[in-house]
Every structure is written in structure tokens, then in C-alpha cells.
């Protein structure tokens, strides 16, 4: 075993990467979450008995993947596995905490704490990690596309505005402009309000991940854009920490041989001690 297969299974899309033991990622693969549930062969095969770790926010997809038997060594991100990677969840109710938010919290440990991440996807989520590595909670609100769909489907005549519709600077003079101004500038305003809430917790670093992050980063210079594998980076650190435990102790809890210990990568010995080469603490790249 010398690699991981990592998944970020979202409401709309499923991403995956292969990672070596040192956290070097391959190119990102992606399909829609509904498509692979209809044809699981759209997902990549695992390399032998290599661990497969998934952050999944779709209960039906998680159940389908578990029951399929497609992966023999399958693990799902949860608060317990993330706690082993260094995040303290004692301040929050974890019973309904999304796996993507858990992975994002772990990914934030790579930054100067306290720090917060906005994940701009179908929903916009905020995760806050304090200086003592405690997860302080956050917020969830609808994303721009979801707001468009809600107005279109919940009214008799309002159209669904394209996501790439130009953002008006002035009051809208027609329905499309009025919708774009209300939704898009409204979303920016809500995000700024949440930044104020996080700022009261001492947060000064705000990262931006997710498929719609570019829009918000252009509108708000306070946001720090991260790579599109940000959530997968958190999944990797959880997987690496879990592997460290498996290599150090056998089923009875006894120490393994020094030969086996020699195979543990530096990231497993000191999980936050290395970063992709040549990059500052608050940025990553797989290129």
C-alpha cells in the first residue's frame, strides 16, 4: 500500500484524487454525484488494498457506495477521524455536522489560527477554527445558484438568472438586473456579515474554496483563494493520520517493527510539518 484514493462527494459534483503517502496529488477527476450512483464504474478503481477515504454530504450516495462493495478498504470522514487529525469538536453538536465542513476544518490547520473558510458551493458554508484548534462552528446559507432556483421555482414569473449574468453596479432597470443585484450583491453582503461574526472570534484569515469561489474573491479582496482540492487536502490529512495509527500499532495495540516504522512518511510522523514544496503557509498548489 503506497497511496490513497480520496473523494469529496458533494450535492452536485464528486471530485477525487489519488495521493501518495506524502500528499502529492494527481489531477482531479470529477463526475456528477447523480451519474455515478446510476453507473458506479464512472468512479476510479482503487489501487489494490489502498485506503479509500471519502467526505460525503449525500446520505443516499454514502449508502450506495458502502453497499456496492466497490471499494474494500473504504472509510468515511467523521468527527472522530478528524479529531485524531488535530481538530477539537467539543464546542459543537457533531451529530449533524457535514463531512465537507469537517474536512475543511482539518484543512484550516495549515494556516495561522484562528482562521475561517468559506466553501462556496450549492450551499455556502463557513467553518471557524480557533487558535487552540477548537472548531467554533460556523454558518450555512444558500449559494447563488440555489437562490436563483428558489426564486424561479417559488414564483410564477421570475426567471432563473444565469450565473454569469453581469453584476450590476446600480439599481436594476429590468427584472434580470434586479434579480442579479439582489441575489449576487445580497450574497456578498451576507458573506461580509458572516466575516464580521467570525472576526469577533479573532479570525483574520478567510480562505475561499468551492466551485463559486472565484466570484466572491473578485467581489471581496479580503478572501484568500485556495486550490480546488482544499477539501480533499483535509481528507488527505485525516487519511494520513489514520494510517499512522495503523502502522504504529497492531490490532492488539503493540508497537510494530522498526522496519514498518521506517515506511511511515514524514507527514504521518509530524502531520503538519511539511507543505507542498516552495509554498507559503497559507497557500497550496498541486501544479
- Give the pLDDT of the chain (287 residues) as one tens digit per residue: 689 999 999 999 999 999 999 999 999 999 999 999 999 999 999 998 899 999 999 999 999 999 999 999 999 999 999 999 999 999 999 999 999 999 999 999 999 999 999 999 999 999 999 999 999 999 999 999 999 999 999 999 999 999 998 888 899 999 999 999 999 999 999 999 999 999 999 999 999 999 999 999 999 999 999 999 999 999 999 999 998 887 765 444 554 444 444 454 544 444 443 343 333 344 333 33
Collapsing DSSP to helix, strand or coil, 26 comes out as coil
Pairing type for strands 74-76 and 52-56 reads parallel
Whole-number Å distance between alpha carbons of 33 and 228: 17
Does the annotation count 250 as an active-site position?
no
Pairing type for strands 135-142 and 123-129 reads antiparallel
Q: Which of 100, 119, 184, 212 is catalytic?
A: 100
Pick the CATH number of 86-218 from 3.30.70.2750, 3.30.420.40, 3.40.50.970, 3.40.50.300: 3.30.420.40
Nearby residues of 157 by Cβ (< 8 Å), 6 or more positions away: none
Whole-number Å distance between alpha carbons of 72 and 91: 34
Please tell me if the domain spanning 3-79+231-269 has the same topology as the one spanning 86-218.
yes
Rounded to 10°, the helix 144-154/186-199 angle is 130
Nearby residues of 97 by Cβ (< 8 Å), 6 or more positions away: 79, 89
Predicted local distance difference test score (pLDDT) of residue 249: 57
Pairing type for strands 205-209 and 115-120 reads parallel
> Domain ranges in the chain?
3-79+231-269, 86-218
Q: Can you spell out the DSSP letters for 29-43?
A: EEEEHHHHHH-GGGS
E strand intervals along the chain: 3-9, 13-20, 29-32, 52-56, 74-76, 115-120, 123-129, 135-142, 205-209, 223-225
Give CATH for domain 3-79+231-269.
3.30.420.40
Amino acid at each position: 500500500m503506497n497511496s490513497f484514493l480520496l473523494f469529496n462527494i458533494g450535492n452536485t459534483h464528486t471530485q477525487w484524487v489519488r495521493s501518495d503517502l506524502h500528499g502529492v496529488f494527481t489531477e482531479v477527476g470529477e463526475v456528477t454525484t447523480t451519474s455515478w450512483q446510476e453507473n458506479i464504474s464512472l468512479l476510479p478503481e482503487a489501487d489494490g488494498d489502498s485506503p479509500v477515504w471519502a467526505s460525503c454530504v449525500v446520505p443516499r450516495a454514502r449508502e450506495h457506495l458502502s453497499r456496492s462493495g466497490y471499494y474494500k478498504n473504504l472509510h468515511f470522514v467523521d468527527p472522530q477521524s478528524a479529531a485524531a487529525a488535530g481538530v477539537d469538536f467539543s464546542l459543537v453538536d457533531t451529530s449533524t455536522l457535514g463531512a465537507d465542513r469537517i474536512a475543511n476544518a482539518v484543512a484550516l490547520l495549515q494556516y495561522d489560527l484562528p482562521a475561517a473558510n468559506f466553501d462556496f458551493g450549492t450551499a455556502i458554508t463557513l467553518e471557524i477554527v480557533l487558535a487552540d484548534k477548537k472548531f467554533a462552528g460556523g454558518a450555512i446559507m444558500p449559494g447563488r445558484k440555489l437562490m436563483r432556483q428558489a426564486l424561479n421555482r417559488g414564483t410564477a414569473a421570475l426567471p432563473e438568472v444565469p450565473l454569469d449574468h453581469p453584476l450590476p453596479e446600480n439599481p436594476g432597470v429590468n427584472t434580470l438586473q434586479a434579480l442579479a443585484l439582489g441575489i449576487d450583491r445580497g450574497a456578498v453582503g451576507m458573506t461580509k456579515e458572516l466575516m464580521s461574526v467570525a472576526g469577533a472570534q479573532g479570525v483574520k484569515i478567510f480562505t475561499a474554496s468551492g466551485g463559486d469561489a472565484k466570484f466572491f474573491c473578485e467581489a471581496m479582496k479580503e478572501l484568500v483563494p485556495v486550490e480546488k482540492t482544499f477539501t480533499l487536502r483535509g481528507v488527505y490529512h485525516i487519511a494520513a493520520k489514520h494510517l499512522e495509527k495503523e502502522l504504529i500499532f497492531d490490532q492488539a495495540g503493540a508497537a510494530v517493527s522498526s522496519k514498518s516504522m521506517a515506511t511511515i512518511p514524514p507527514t504521518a510522523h509530524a502531520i503538519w510539518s511539511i507543505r507542498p514544496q516552495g509554498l507559503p503557509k497559507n497557500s497550496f498548489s498541486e501544479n
